[in-house]
Amino acid sequence: MQRRLVVTGQRPDGKAIIASDAMIDPLTVALAAGAEFHPMWGADTLPALPQDGSKPVTVGWFPPAGGFRFTLLTIPPDAEAAMPADLPAALAEAALKLPGMLEAVDAEHPHMHTTDTVDFVVILSGRLCLEVDDGQEIELHKGDSLIQNGTRHAWHNRGSEPCEMIAATIGTRRG
C-alpha cells in the first residue's frame, strides 16, 4: 500500500514551503513475502539547515555513523511466511532493493540481526515480538515504543494480522 510523504523546506529567501507531497510505493522482496518497506526519508550525514526539501541520496538500507533513516514497515504474520521457490534470485533481489540488509543478518540464526544503529520504534497496529539473545522475548502492541540500542535481535509476528511500525534509525559507531 502506498504511503503519503509531505516534505517541507525553505526557499533561498527563508520562506517556508511545502517542497513535495507524494505517494511512496512500498519496496517488496520475495525473501520476505508480505512485508512492505517504505523508506520515507534519510541521509548519510547530519542534515544542515536551512534545507530546501530535496531528498538526500542514501547508499545503504542502514545509515552510517551520523546518518539517519525514517521508515514505515509492515511485517506479516509468521504463519504467512514461505521460502521463495528461487532462493538465489530472492537473495539477489533483496541485496539490490535493501542494500546492506543481508549483511546484518546472523548466518546461524537467519531472523537475528545486528546493526550499528539506535532505533526508535513505534507500533502503529498489530503486535510484534522482539527477540534478543538467549531467546528472551517481549511482545509489543499498538502504541508501544521501543529504543533498540544496537543489540542483536529478531522480529516475530505471531499474530494473525500484519503489524505496522515506524522506525527512526540513527547510525553510530561501536566503541
| Low-confidence spans in the chain with pLDDT less than 70 | none
Residue 134 falls within a domain, yes or no?
yes
Would you state the pLDDT for residue 158?
95
Residue 83, C-beta contacts closer than 8 angstroms, at least 6 positions apart: none
Residue 43 falls within a domain, yes or no?
yes
Would you state the pLDDT for residue 82?
86
Collapse the DSSP code of 72 into the 3-class scheme (helix H, G, I; strand E, B; otherwise coil) and give the result: strand
Would you state the pLDDT for residue 109?
87
Dist CA 25 CA 38 (whole Å)? 7
Residue 13, C-beta contacts closer than 8 angstroms, at least 6 positions apart: none
Residue 4 falls within a domain, yes or no?
no
The pTM assigned to this predicted structure is 0.92
In the chain, what is the straight-line distance between the N-terminal and C-terminal CA atoms, in Å?
39
Residue 19 falls within a domain, yes or no?
no
Say which DSSP state 44 is in.
Answer: S
Tell me the residue range of the domain where 79 lies: 29-171
Would you state the pLDDT for residue 13?
93
Q: What is the pLDDT of residues 123-170, one digit of tens each?
A: 999 999 999 998 899 999 999 999 999 999 999 999 999 999 999 999
Which CATH number is 100's domain given? Answer: 2.60.120.10
Residue 138 falls within a domain, yes or no?
yes
Dist CA 35 CA 48 (whole Å)? 33
Would you state the pLDDT for residue 175?
85
Contact assessment for residue 76 and residue 157, using Cβ atoms and an 8 Å cutoff: yes
Contact assessment for residue 113 and residue 105, using Cβ atoms and an 8 Å cutoff: yes
Residue 5 falls within a domain, yes or no?
no
- Give the chain's domain count: 1
Would you state the pLDDT for residue 120?
98
